Structure 1
Amino acid sequence: MRTALAFAVMGLLAALLPAAEKRITVNGKKYDWPKSPVVVILIDGGDPAYVNAALAQGLLPNFKKIMTEGFVSIAVGAMPSFTNPNNISVITGVPPSVHGISGNFFLNPATGQETMMDQPQFLRADSILATFSEHGAKVVALTAKDKLAKILAYKLQHGISFSAEKADQCTKQNNGIDNCLAYVGRPLPSAYSADLSLFVLEAGIRILEREKPDLMYLSLSDYIQHKYPPGSKEANAYYVGIDDALGRLLALGATVALTADHGMNDKSNADGSPNIVFLQDLLDMQFGSGTAKVILPITDPYVKHHGALGSYATIFFQQPVSAPAVMSLLNRQPGVELVMDRAAAAKLFDLPADRIGTWLSSPIEALSWVRVGLLSI
């Protein structure tokens, strides 16, 4: 789901930094130097329904304050609507067609191997965070999920950067901070918990108090949103935790922006079972095993709440086959919402065509976009 909530004291990251004389250019866009600490919080899976449900119960006074006194809008996220493409869009200010991160996972056309898109070598644009640090800003980049840690830290100069998932492994040399658990005052959180995100927020508050950074990026986890619906006791408790941290950051004099990487969709049948279309099986039965390869770009290590089920697939043809015939087959399947070829998908959704297309460097056709209405595989 592309819709996500963006709400801030001042708009999106490209317009976040308060006016000043010094300006920095990153990827062709100009950013003003912050007059006060700027904190950007990305609420992974931050569908507006969660905020609205908690607001309706009077649970989020600090959210209400900045939404009333500052800026609020519903934003359209980058496609595919996953963690990596959207986090990288925020920290670069450009779409996937420019920064190159086309999913959490992809088939690397240079090697023919399936791999996570979690390495800086896949990045094709400069990071706003790194560029500010190169000009002398004190920058902090923290993430709940370790899969973002290397890209967020890439080229960061004398900054602080780590994941909550591996906070027990922090060193001054590698992360800009020692004894992270003691510094934050919390135990190492489980990857499958609200505490993973709340650790990031607490760490940000402690760092803001002690280190006085100029720019801080805090990326959270979507475990709660995948597991609990808007308005549930668990979801509300999580958002109350975010609201409390928001209030403390504002009290420390920060300019705070909150945004999301994607929204959420119910991907289950009425009985709670997953609603799945097995694309690989369909293609194997129709065209033969080994003819096509289905890649699920949501794939990542967080199987408990992602499970590679994310309503989006790319299909690579390993042997000559008619793309129109494949598209016709898929368009007839219940639950399949949209099927596009590589060129059309890249143009419509601002995607890097070479990373959603050909198998190795062969001229074999590739189908790059399949949208399955409820769930894809």
Structure 2
Amino acid sequence: MQRRSPFIMNKVLILVIDGCAPEYITPEFAPNIHRLAKQYGFVKTVKAVVPTVTNVNHASILSGKFPSETGMVGNYYYNPITGEEGYIEEKGFMKAETLLQAYRKRGLKTAFLTVKGKLLGVYGHAADIGISVQTPDASLLKEYGLPAPPAVSSLESSGWIVNAALAVIKKEDPALVYCTTNDYGFHHFGPEATEAQLQIRQIDEAVAAIHEADKERQIYITADHGMNQKHYLLDFQQLADEAGLHIFCLAPLKDRYRENHVYQEGGILYLFLKKPEEKDALLALIQSRPEIEAVMSNKEAAEKLHLPLHGIGDYVIFAAPDCAFGELGGTATLVTDASRTHGSLYEQEVPLLAIHPAAPEEAYQYSKDIAAVLFKSI
């Protein structure tokens, strides 16, 4: 590997391939990325933060901080005092400084490109250039010579957004480009599927073109979370209601992209206990279900998983490897072959392929360490 002086600050691209478990981005289907990373950096696996969902991990990748400092604990929120609940799609939830904000303070140009429009709302307000497949700005498409984007829920949207990043880099040469895709393809197709391989090939070709356009740019390719097949779904809210318990189940994965997870199914739940006297009955119900692998109090989860106490309920439950929690519409259980999802501890392993990294390989143990290292140099 060729190493350059750590004192030279190079321009940066962080590419987050949504839902890309390490098994997807192999040398066979991403030959350019692997070649460049091995020549100028490294290829390894690192950890995502928990819960392994989109909003939480983008907060950490952008800030270099755990959720205990970002305050981001899901794609959805619930206020037990007011009963208010809703999707997290706008600024105000993120508590830590992002790289976008830090670069802007130093007068450096930044760009934020995303397939999912919500991420532009939550994080992209600090960027000089913001492009979304979901909410395209016609003037920006014209300025960068971009065709109309494909549908968000398509196999083409991820390749489109990375090519948009290429166009922005060629014209604007931003100091920091943050680009993220959509996990639609990986929710529906495993690593062995032609459709998933095509998505990776499109990204691989675009990254090669970005490197060719700016050979000195640092490039980090990672994922916000992994993805696994699940066959057994459990509606714990339905189960608790049937048992006469008064709780609110918050699914951190829950978002508007129902085409990705029809039942909002994910591997972790936050349980808000409305009547403290039902604690023992709730724990007994949890322990009676084989779909549930573990339960932690909020204090235990905060300590072990670097989560804030606020927003994660009284208890956190974790699904077994082949299981997920979902909103099943009147039934407590469902057996299916059609669910590929994330959220649990089993989707914590993600790839990290680095080209011209700012630090040696051992400095990166979590995906968030990309930002943690970069913050030291700006």
- TM-score when scaled to structure 1? 0.80
The CA deviation string for residues 80-109 of structure 1, in whole angstroms up to 9 with x for no partner, is: 000110011000110111001101112135
* Aligned sequence identity (%): 27
How many residues were matched structurally?
A: 321
CA 139–110 in structure 1, closer or farther in 2 if over 3 Å, else same: farther
Judge conservation of contact 1:312–1:372 (CA < 8 Å) in 2.
Answer: no
Please list every run of at least 4 consecutive aligned residues from structure 1 whose deviation after the TM superposition is greater than 6 angstroms.
Answer: none
Give the Cα separation in 2 of the matches to 1:286 and 1:335.
17
Alignment of 1:4-43 (within 5 A): 19-20=6-7, 34-35=9-10, 37-43=11-17
Q: Which residue of 1 aligns with 2:89?
A: 118
Q: How much has 1:181 moved relative to structure 2? A: 5.4
Give the Cα separation in 1 of the matches to 2:271 and 2:227.
24
User: What secondary structure sits across from 1:65 in the alignment?
Assistant: helix
CA 142–111 in structure 1, closer or farther in 2 if over 3 Å, else same: farther
Q: How much has 1:265 moved relative to structure 2? A: 1.0
The CA deviation string for residues 23-81 of structure 1, in whole angstroms up to 9 with x for no partner, is: xxxxxxxxxxx33x2111001111011123xx3xx332212213422112111111100
**Which one has more relative contact order, counting CA pairs under 8 Å at least 6 apart?**
2
Kindly provide the amino acid, as one letter, of the partner of residue 50 in structure 1.
Answer: Y
Gaps of 5+ in 1: 1-7, 11-16, 22-33, 171-177, 269-274, 358-365
Kindly provide the amino acid, as one letter, of the partner of residue 136 in structure 1.
Answer: G
Alignment of 1:37-56 (within 5 A): 37-52=11-26, 55=27
Give the Cα separation in 1 of the matches to 2:5 and 2:247.
50
Choose which of 244, 259, 265 in structure 2 pairs with 1:287. Answer: 244
User: What secondary structure sits across from 2:174 in the alignment?
Assistant: coil
Alignment of 1:1-377 (within 5 A): 19-20=6-7, 34-35=9-10, 37-52=11-26, 55=27, 58-69=28-39, 70-109=41-80, 111-156=82-127, 159-167=128-136, 169=137, 178-180=139-141, 183-253=144-214, 254-268=217-231, 275-288=232-245, 291-307=246-262, 308-357=264-313, 366-373=314-321, 374-377=323-326
Q: How much has 1:182 moved relative to structure 2? A: 6.4
CA 223–72 in structure 1, closer or farther in 2 if over 3 Å, else same: same
Q: How much has 1:184 moved relative to structure 2? A: 4.0
CA 184–355 in structure 1, closer or farther in 2 if over 3 Å, else same: farther
The CA deviation string for residues 97-152 of structure 1, in whole angstroms up to 9 with x for no partner, is: 10011011121356421112222211111111111112111111111111111222
User: What secondary structure sits across from 1:74 in the alignment?
Assistant: strand
User: What secondary structure sits across from 2:290 in the alignment?
Assistant: coil
User: What secondary structure sits across from 1:166 in the alignment?
Assistant: coil
Kindly provide the amino acid, as one letter, of the partner of residue 78 in structure 1.
Answer: V
Give the Cα separation in 2 of the matches to 1:89 and 1:328.
34
Kindly provide the amino acid, as one letter, of the partner of residue 303 in structure 1.
Answer: R
Moved more, 328-337 or 213-222: 328-337
Moved more, 43-52 or 63-72: 63-72
Judge conservation of contact 1:165–1:190 (CA < 8 Å) in 2.
Answer: yes
- TM-score when scaled to structure 2? 0.80
Kindly provide the amino acid, as one letter, of the partner of residue 255 in structure 2.
Answer: D
Moved more, 93-102 or 307-316: 307-316
Gaps of 5+ in 2: 327-378
Q: How much has 1:323 moved relative to structure 2? A: 2.3
Give the Cα separation in 2 of the matches to 1:73 and 1:297.
27
CA 59–280 in structure 1, closer or farther in 2 if over 3 Å, else same: closer
